[in-house]
A = this chain, B = another copy of it.
């Protein structure tokens, strides 16, 4: 079966990078953006611009625009719809409900603090984890189609439920954004001398808050429960004796982990177990997928 065409709605950093990477890989890719400049930039790099989409339709728009992203577009009734949003339960409740069993939620763990078509980079997905939701009613053949798109641009697919995804990104994305904002705002209170002395550790710690504040706010407010819970876990850590806290953080940050190759049957339970083990899928092999799980270095 030939790979289905891909239609990308929203041609900013993530959607534009995906469309251009697929076009560069020789895959038929169409796209649309409300911004004519984004359309022109993508068209110049091999993306067919159209309002008629089929195959795998990727919603690559900001979270607040997700529910209306398909307004005015014509989508093949058999198309599989996916998205690149940074929270998954709210998208499942809106777009997912509207698209029914055709919907497979996704979230590539890449992107930078830059945005828009000027930040398009077809190498953005190479080696990145791409979370892909396997809900109880997800049709496995549609999940595999979207996984094929992710793997075609070099990503590794992490099978998750929307709830597991949202809990995990609260800890590793939402909370880092809030800590960076709090650190920057508190340093500002300390005055010009503190900001003048700010060096590498401060710049690393606050870089992420250079992202579009509307995007960051939508991410944390759209995932408020898990974010609050993850922030509370960080606060508990901050109450530990400092020497103990520093040693624990150092151990996590510097742990060297290898990978062990595994084969997993095309089965929801087995795929989700791979994701929970910290592994990812790297290719389809008939009735199996090949992937890896972390392995402690000897």
Contacts and interface: CB of A to CB of B under 8 A. Distances in A.
Main secondary structure on A side of the interface with B: helix
A162 interface: no
A252 B182 CA distance: 10
A79 B204 CA distance: 37
A185 B249 contact: yes
Interface in A247-298: 247-250, 252-254, 275-280, 294
Interface string A174-195: 0111111111111111111111
A191 B276 contact: yes
Interface stretch (A26-34, A97-105, A144-152, A213-221): A213-221
Interface stretch (A10-18, A63-71, A231-239): A231-239
Nearest to A252: B184
Contacts of A242: 178, 217, 220-221
Q: Which of A176, A190, A201, A234 has the most CB of B within 10 A?
A: A201
A247 B213 contact: yes
Contacts of A275: 193, 196
A129 B196 contact: yes
A164 B193 contact: yes
Interface in A208-233: 208-211, 213, 216-217, 220-221, 230-231, 233
B249 A184 contact: yes
A176 B201 contact: yes
A36 B12 CA distance: 55
B216 A190 contact: no
A126 to B, nearest CB: 13
A109 interface: yes
B192 A176 contact: no
A168 B181 contact: no
A194 B206 CA distance: 21
Contacts of A158: 193, 196-197
Given A186-B230, A202-B176, A243-B221, A250 B181 contact: yes
A140 interface: no
Q: Which 8 A-B pairs have the closest CB atoms?
A: A181-B249, A192-B278, A182-B237, A109-B199, A196-B278, A168-B194, A184-B252, A176-B205
Interface of A: 109-112, 128-129, 131, 158, 160, 164-165, 167-169, 171-173, 175-202, 204-211, 213, 216-217, 220-221, 230-231, 233-238, 240, 242-243, 245-250, 252-254, 275-280, 294
